[in-house]
């Protein structure tokens, strides 16, 4: 049985003060509840310590939005996986489309980052997904396959517990447009089949594949209820406690 994961990606929002407020509002709403899955928030680096303090004891885990591909050294502006671990982080997002687009990050960097994350006992959330014109020209599966085969076969020690995938069709991110359940299920099943080919059937059966792209309380239950969708990576709707917890409620309803 795959436990769902509802992960909030705060992106470039919320400094330590506002982040602490949001994390405690989420924590308050979830406190004392027995959840059938995992809840994660991924604040900006500087907000991580503040969230770590308030989230202690609540069913809210802590993640980061990226990390360095390097272990340490002369890499100005970077933050290493072991530093994140020391700060209380358990998950690191790698390969988000905004990193691909605005920072020109490549498969080689994704592979190196995921290996660093794994070397320190953390879990990686590896994002992939096609652009609008790639879908419109019928190349969505080809793109997804290339993104998965460009990284997964070269990882040092991936398994179903230290790696989570997130299918995020770029045309659905921050646009209010959501993949239809048909599209989401189709790409998720296709992705799981790719994982089976690359890492084996056992790993594929146990690996969580999240959906991301305008996921909100109103569509979470339907999306997360799909057979191959194991949770959500949430951008905009993770910035309001009510909406984010509404998505957790949707996930609970989907598995319950
Ligand atoms: P969104 O972002 O929920 O605002 O569409 C999702 C993401 O980028 O992870």
Q: What is the pLDDT of residue 136?
A: 93
Which amino acid residue places its CA nearest to atom 7 of ligand 1?
235
How far apart are alpha carbons 251 and 223 in whole angstroms? 9
Matching residue, tokens 């296709």: 190
Q: What is the pLDDT of residue 57?
A: 83
How far apart are alpha carbons 225 and 251 in whole angstroms? 7
Q: Is the dihedral of CA 150, 155, 158, 163 positive or negative?
A: negative
User: Taking every pair of C-alpha atoms in the chain, what is the biggest distance, in angstroms?
Assistant: 49
235 in contact with ligand 1, CB cutoff 6 A: yes
Number of structural domains found in the chain: 1
Using an 8 Å Cβ cutoff, are 129 and 123 in contact? no
Residue 56 has pLDDT above 90, yes or no: no
Residue 212 has pLDDT above 90, yes or no: yes
Q: What is the pLDDT of residue 170?
A: 94
Using an 8 Å Cβ cutoff, are 70 and 80 in contact? yes
Residue 113 has pLDDT above 90, yes or no: yes
Q: What is the pLDDT of residue 199?
A: 98
Q: What is the pLDDT of residue 144?
A: 98
Residue 20 has pLDDT above 90, yes or no: yes
Matching residue, tokens 């609970």: 252
Domain residue limits at 242: 4-255
Residue 122 has pLDDT above 90, yes or no: yes
Distance 213 CA to ligand 1 centre (A): 5
Q: Which atom of ligand 1 is nearest to the CA of 175?
A: 5
Q: What is the pLDDT of residue 1?
A: 83
- Continuous segment of H or E residues that includes residue 232: strand 231-234
Q: What is the mean pLDDT of residues 120-127?
A: 98
Helices (runs of H) and strands (runs of E) counted in the chain = 11, 8
Distance 74 CA to ligand 1 centre (A): 32
How far apart are alpha carbons 248 and 99 in whole angstroms? 26
- Tell me the pLDDT tens digit for each residue of 215-238: 999 999 999 999 999 999 999 999
**Percentage of the chain surpassing pLDDT 70?**
100
How far apart are alpha carbons 45 and 124 in whole angstroms? 16
- Tell me the pLDDT tens digit for each residue of 129-176: 999 999 999 999 999 999 999 999 999 999 999 999 999 999 999 888
Q: What is the mean pLDDT of residues 48-70?
A: 95
Average per-residue pLDDT in the chain?
97
pLDDT confidence bin for 256, thresholds 50/70/90 = confident
Neighbours of 47 (CB within 10 A): 22
Q: What is the distance between the terminal CA atoms of the chain, rounded to a whole angstrom?
A: 13
HSE (side-chain half, CA atoms, 13 Å) at 215:
37
Residue 49 has pLDDT above 90, yes or no: yes
Q: What is the pLDDT of residue 116?
A: 98
Distance 149 CA to ligand 1 centre (A): 23
Q: Which atom of ligand 1 is nearest to the CA of 215?
A: 3
**Which residues have a Cβ under 8 Å from the Cβ of 130 and sit 6 or more positions away?**
139, 140, 143, 144, 169, 170, 171
Residue 29 has pLDDT above 90, yes or no: yes
Neighbours of 220 (CB within 10 A): 27
Q: Which atom of ligand 1 is nearest to the CA of 97?
A: 8
Q: What is the pLDDT of residue 177?
A: 86
* Residue 102: CATH number of its domain: 3.20.20.70
**Which residues have a Cβ under 8 Å from the Cβ of 209 and sit 6 or more positions away?**
164, 165, 166, 167, 188, 191, 192, 228, 229, 230
With a threshold of 0.85, does the pTM exceed it?
yes
């Amino acid at each position: 049985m795959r436990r769902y994961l509802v992960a909030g990606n705060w992106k470039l929002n919320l400094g330590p003060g506002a982040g602490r407020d949001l994390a405690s509002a989420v924590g308050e709403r979830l406190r004392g509840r027995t959840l059938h899955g995992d809840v994660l928030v991924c604040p900006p680096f500087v907000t991580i310590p503040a969230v770590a303090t308030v989230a202690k004891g609540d069913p809210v885990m802590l993640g980061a939005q990226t990390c360095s591909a390097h272990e340490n050294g002369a890499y100005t502006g970077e933050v290493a996986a072991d530093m994140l671990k020391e700060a209380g982080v358990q998950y690191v997002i790698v390969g988000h489309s905004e990193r691909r687009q605005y920072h020109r990050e490549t498969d080689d960097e994704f592979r190196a980052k995921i290996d660093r994350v794994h070397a320190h006992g953390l879990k990686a959330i590896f994002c992939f997904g096609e652009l609008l014109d790639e879908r419109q020209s019928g190349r969505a599966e080809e793109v997804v396959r290339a993104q998965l085969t460009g990284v997964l076969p070269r990882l040092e020690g991936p398994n179903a517990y230290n790696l989570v995938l997130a299918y995020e069709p770029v045309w659905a991110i921050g646009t209010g447009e959501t993949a239809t359940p048909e599209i989401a299920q189709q790409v998720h099943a296709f992705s799981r089949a790719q994982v089976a080919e690359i890492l084996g059937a056992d790993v594929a059966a146990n690996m969580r594949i999240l959906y991301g792209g305008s996921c909100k309380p109103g569509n979470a239950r339907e999306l997360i209820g799909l057979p191959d969708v194991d949770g959500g990576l949430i951008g905009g709707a993770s910035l309001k406690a009510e909406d984010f917890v509404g998505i957790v409620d949707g996930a609970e309803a989907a598995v319950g």
